[in-house]
Amino acid sequence: MRVAVVSDIHANLHALGAVLDDVAANEPDEIWCLGDVVGYGANPNECCEHIRERAGLVLAGNHDLGVLGKLDLAEFSDDAAAAARWTRTVLAGEHLPWLASLQPSSKRTTVELFHGSPRDPVWDYVLSDDVALESFALTSAPLVLVGHSHVALALGTGGRGVVGGLAPSGTELALGEHRLLLNPGSVGQPRDGNPDAAWLLVDFDTDRAVFRRVVYDVEGAQAAIRAAGLPDVLAERLARGL
């Protein structure tokens, strides 16, 4: 089975469209989404439609839960809270029960999946060796997938600490040599200094994983954010990938 892993779409339809084209060209058997379909961007309804229609597994992210009112927006930054409140006003009612049905973690035969981390699947970021080690200790699957940080990462453990780090475009690794913890990076708001939309292809037939980046219409996404009256920084940061 070949799986396209996407995460942190954040209502960026321009980025999601470009990623789904690249995904389709790679003909995966399934799409898995690690959460945050909405929040920050200007097209939450279209992004919910695409993911509901195509993804075989979808996790809830903290922004999805914030929009639903399941998390207190006081926990969010001012710009994120403003975007969550705006999203509530425009999100079509049909998407609410679907978002409300999602959980922040899940499991497949050889994979454990979390929006944040195994320590806290909603809020925790895996961005340090210590958190990665704890995350490996709290799981047993050969492969752990996380999102939330918007930074593409490939970490492994062979019993002597953590190896690996940032996973730039084209990074390819073998599954099965070590236990792995992978973050595909973000479709709709990358924060690793590369503005291109990120996704991850995991091929369980050949035991390979490949990190991919896709150029998309950043100016279109920025114009949509500004037209919606969302905070300008949410548009501006897309060009910097931060």
**Of the two residues 98 and 123, which places its CB atom closer to Zn ion in the complex?**
123
Distance CA 79, CA 96 (A): 22
The token duo for 88 is: 């509530």
Distance CA 84, CA 69 (A): 9
**Of the two residues 22 and 36, which places its CB atom closer to Zn ion in the complex?**
36
Work out which of 22, 36, 64, 196 binds Zn ion, going by CB under 5 A: 36
Distance CA 163, CA 10 (A): 29
The verdict on 124 binding Zn ion (CB under 5 A) reads: no
**Of the two residues 171 and 189, which places its CB atom closer to Zn ion in the complex?**
189
Q: Specify the stretch interacting with Zn ion by CB under 5 A; choose among 36-44, 102-110, 137-145, 157-165.
A: 36-44
Name 213's Cβ contacts closer than 8 Å, sequence gap at least 6: 168, 169, 185, 194, 196, 197, 198
Do the Cβ atoms of 84 and 39 come closer than 8 Å? yes
Least separation in angstroms between CB 177 and Zn ion: 29
Q: Specify the stretch interacting with Zn ion by CB under 5 A; choose among 4-12, 49-57, 107-115, 227-235.
A: 4-12
Cα-based distances in Å from 146 to 32, 36, 57, 92, 219: 11, 12, 13, 28, 28
Q: Specify the stretch interacting with Zn ion by CB under 5 A; choose among 3-11, 70-78, 100-108, 190-198.
A: 3-11
Burial class (CB in 10 A: 0-12, 13-18, 19+), 220: middle
Q: Specify the stretch interacting with Zn ion by CB under 5 A; choose among 32-40, 86-94, 168-176, 212-220.
A: 32-40
SS3 110: coil
Least separation in angstroms between CB 224 and Zn ion: 18
**Under rule CB under 5 A, how many of the chain's residues touch Zn ion?**
2
**Of the two residues 36 and 124, which places its CB atom closer to Zn ion in the complex?**
36
Q: Specify the residue for token string 């029960």.
A: 97
The verdict on 8 binding Zn ion (CB under 5 A) reads: yes
Q: Which residues pair with 163 in a beta bridge?
A: 156
Least separation in angstroms between CB 159 and Zn ion: 31
**Of the two residues 68 and 175, which places its CB atom closer to Zn ion in the complex?**
68
Neighbours of 214 (CB within 10 A): 18
**Of the two residues 8 and 124, which places its CB atom closer to Zn ion in the complex?**
8
- Give residues in contact with Zn ion (CB under 5 A): 8, 36
